[in-house]
């Protein structure tokens, strides 16, 4: 079993229901068990600024799947929640990002773990710190809590 961390985001439709449904569907998948979740945070959009505020949370899962299988399961949940990939960085019903997969470092065309932008994102680090403050982000050698201390725009996450 591997301990993985997933970032969830939504800024379209019934946002709270979208987050709840995504976690329910993830937990139902063979080989995935949701073991812990952060609370939900209201966050200012990063990237395309002219869009609705997001709700973000992070989840810890225990999984027997490979990283590619876990990512495929996450994409199925996005599709089932009618995630339409239209405008890059634009509004979405649900966005699932694979943040950490144990202490693995994966650099493949279709899969980069840890998530390449997670150390720059308050909307990831603040919720993640709540459930994984002492987890080290490879290969940086620094913990989620340490990265969260210095990430910009912490006040954009409430």
Ligand X SMILES: Nc1nc2nc(S)n(CCO)c2c(=O)[nH]1
Answer yes or no whether residue 5 interacts with ligand X by CB under 6 A.
no
Other CB atoms within 10 Å distance of the CB of residue 86: 8
Question: Which of these segments, 12-20, 45-53, 135-143, 147-155, binds ligand X (CB under 6 A)?
Answer: 45-53
Least gap, CB of 97 to ligand X (angstroms): 6
In 3D space, the residue among 65, 64, 7 whose CA is nearest the CA of residue 38 turns out to be 7
- Supply the minimum distance, in Å, between the C-beta of residue 19 and ligand X: 11
Residue 6's contacts (CB-CB under 8 Å, 6 or more residues apart) are 26, 58, 59, 61, 74, 96, 97, 98, 99
Q: Which of 17, 24, 47, 68 binds ligand X (CB under 6 A)?
A: 47
Give me 114's structure tokens.
């840890």
Q: Which residues bind ligand X (CB under 6 A)?
A: 9, 43-47, 54, 56, 89, 95, 97, 123
């Amino acid at each position: 079993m591997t301990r993985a961390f997933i970032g969830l985001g939504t800024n379209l439709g019934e946002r709270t229901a979208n987050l709840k449904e995504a976690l329910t569907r993830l937990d139902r998948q063979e080989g995935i068990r949701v073991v812990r979740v952060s609370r939900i945070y209201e966050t200012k959009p990063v990237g395309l600024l002219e869009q609705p505020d997001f709700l973000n949370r992070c989840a810890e899962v225990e999984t027997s799947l490979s990283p590619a299988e876990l990512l495929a399961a996450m994409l199925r949940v996005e599709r089932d929640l009618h995630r339409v990939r239209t405008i890059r960085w634009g509004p979405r019903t649900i966005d699932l990002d694979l943040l950490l997969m144990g202490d693995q470092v994966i650099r493949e065309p279709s899969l980069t773990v840890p998530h390449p932008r997670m150390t720059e994102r308050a909307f990831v680090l603040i919720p993640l710190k709540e459930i994984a403050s002492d987890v080290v982000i490879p290969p940086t050698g620094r913990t989620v809590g340490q990265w969260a201390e210095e990430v910009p725009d912490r006040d954009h996450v409430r």
